[in-house]
A and B are shown apart, each in its own frame.
Chain A
Amino acid sequence: MRRALAYAALIALAAFLVAPFAWMVLVSLHPTRAPIPDYGELIPAHAQWQNYWLVLTNSEVPVARFALNSVFVAVCVVSGQLVVCSLAAYGLARIRFPGADAVFFLFVASMMFAGVVTQIPVYLLMRDLHWLDTYAALVVPGLSSAFNVFLLRQFMVGIPRELDEASQIDGAGHLRIYAQVVMPLCKPALATAAAFTFFAVWTDFFWPLLATNSMRMRTLEVGLSIFKNSYGATNWPLQMAAAVVTLMPMVVVFVLAQRWFVRGIQMSGIK
């Protein structure tokens, strides 16, 4: 009885969370420029799969280019952060040096309150470096995050010290211990950090909106908003098709990766 109730609640909730997505797909299959369908006619009589083709090949809004930009920026930011943040985490977790506590506090504190306040100065910095509307502006400000330093440090603190002491006796330096002992043991935490960072970069809207202005430099997220505001303004089926195109890669990645993603969060000590 309790089980049945639990499943009923789960299914109701799942329906509540999935309904908007299902609806998005259904509307995207209606004829373009058709009036908004009534509920009785939500399932289209003839699915217009060519809507997706229209979105992907639209010459005014280069969706393929947006997607490529998003992939490139996300890959650069994720790999950069994994290196930069794991190095810092190793230094803070495995090397005893005066000032380490203060540095760690600085990272934790900045995690709490950076945000809107940095937007204008970072924009001005990018402008003065002539980096606006280039990949540098999209990638470089994202190359490190205090959150990942924190997450990886917490994980590294939990790795037994005997391991590096043994390697030290064998004559290994810190760089070697970092690369060959600690990093391989951090795989779950690194995977979590990578996933979090990837989702964050992929769905970031504000910064790419500010930092780019030409069509060829836009990311998917910004591109979609342009699509909505101009090309597909009142064309709901086409708008929804564009939204589905933007969502799909993420949904697929997430469904494939969710098992270790969820486990990684549990193991990485965010409590």
Chain B
Amino acid sequence: MKSRRTGWLFVAPALIHLAVFAIGPIAYAVILSFTDWNILKGGPRFAGTGNFARIFDDGQFLRSLMNSFVYTAASVPLGMAVALGVALLVSQRLKGITFFRTVFYLPAVCSQVAIAMVWIYIYLPKKGLVNAILGWMGLPDGTDFLSAPGWAMAALVFMGIWVGLGPRMILYVSGLLNIPESFYEAAQLDGASPWQQFSRVTLPLLSPTTFFVGLTGTIGAMQVFTPIYMMTKGGPEGTTDVVGYHIYSAAWERFQIGEASAMSVILFGVVLLLSLIPMRTVWRQSEGVF
């Protein structure tokens, strides 16, 4: 009886915080999604499912959702593959390897705004770094990457992989270091080739890491905002208008709180669906720890 009360007391501050700043707001967002509310004029008015009807009629929201899917589907798997490759490289016993791990992690601790500013510069037509390299290789070098509808999304994906490399790599390194050496020795005794060792030992034993990295990466990528706000403002021609930015502009540029809430509720549902499968796996694992 006593430990019951003590237990709740220990958990209380975090639980209250969770209720006030996560669960309550989610519920409130659902309520707001059924209202019509311009935050500059008066209060919310009940609007039924009007917001949802309008959102789906409009098409621009669905397009932004599609843009987010594209960004996520391109940047997360690619970013994970690159990170795993780098993790394999830096988990070897080599002199000075911590130096390299530090360097690879660096972009992740840096100001996103500053990084966006540098990458705007990198993508400049003519004098940007990318065009300079293309020029050296004798390729056409005049592309304005962030203003070309066919290039802007790819440019953002590439930058996303650059920024996300460090955290993903570190998680993979710790996953790799947790695989007992004896597994590889046994595989070698059975005559497994390096590729077989990788595909039959490393990859399966890394699957919890892969789930974690994939899940957090997906959730983050579906809500990407800062690089869009800084670099393209959703342009050119709406090709980088991702859902996180679309909601931002509905709420804080057009002040349509009800409509923006409806959009955020839909995004919430989508992210929830996307994370359901890996979440079950994570949960099953955490049970074993109890």
Q: Please, how many angstroms separate the alpha-carbon atoms of A125 and B28 in the complex?
A: 10
Cβ A9 vs Cβ B89 within 8 A: yes
| Count, chain B residues at interface, CB 8 A | 95
Q: Please, how many angstroms separate the alpha-carbon atoms of A251 and B166 in the complex?
A: 14
Cβ A221 vs Cβ B112 within 8 A: yes
Contact flag A258-B208 (CB < 8 Å), given A113-B275, A221-B113 = no
Which residues on the A side are within 8 Å of B208 (C-beta)?
A: 271
Cβ A247 vs Cβ B10 within 8 A: no
Using CB atoms, name the residue of chain B closest to A14. Answer: B103
Say which one of B46-54, B69-77, B182-190, B260-268 lies at the interface with A: B260-268
Main secondary structure, interface of A, reads helix
Minimum Cβ distance to chain A for residue B222 (Å): 8
Which residues on the A side are within 8 Å of B209 (C-beta)?
A: 271
Which residues on the B side are within 8 Å of A87 (C-beta)?
A: 10-11, 13-14
Most chain A CB neighbours (cut-off 10 Å) among B24, B102, B212: B102
Which residues on the A side are within 8 Å of B165 (C-beta)?
A: 17
Minimum Cβ distance to chain B for residue A194 (Å): 13
Contact flag A250-B112 (CB < 8 Å), given A38-B127, A225-B230, A265-B171 = no
| B residues at A contact (CB < 8 Å) | 3-4, 6-11, 13-15, 17-18, 20-26, 28-29, 32, 86, 89-90, 92, 94, 98, 100-115, 117-119, 121-122, 124, 127, 129, 132, 162, 165, 170-171, 173-175, 177-178, 208-209, 212, 215, 219, 223, 225-226, 229-230, 243-244, 247-248, 251-252, 257, 260-261, 264-265, 267-268, 271-272, 275, 279, 282-283, 286, 289-290
Q: Please, how many angstroms separate the alpha-carbon atoms of A128 and B13 in the complex?
A: 22
Q: With an 8 A cutoff between CB atoms, is A163 at the interface?
A: no
Minimum Cβ distance to chain A for residue B40 (Å): 13
Contact flag A240-B109 (CB < 8 Å), given A14-B100, A117-B26 = no
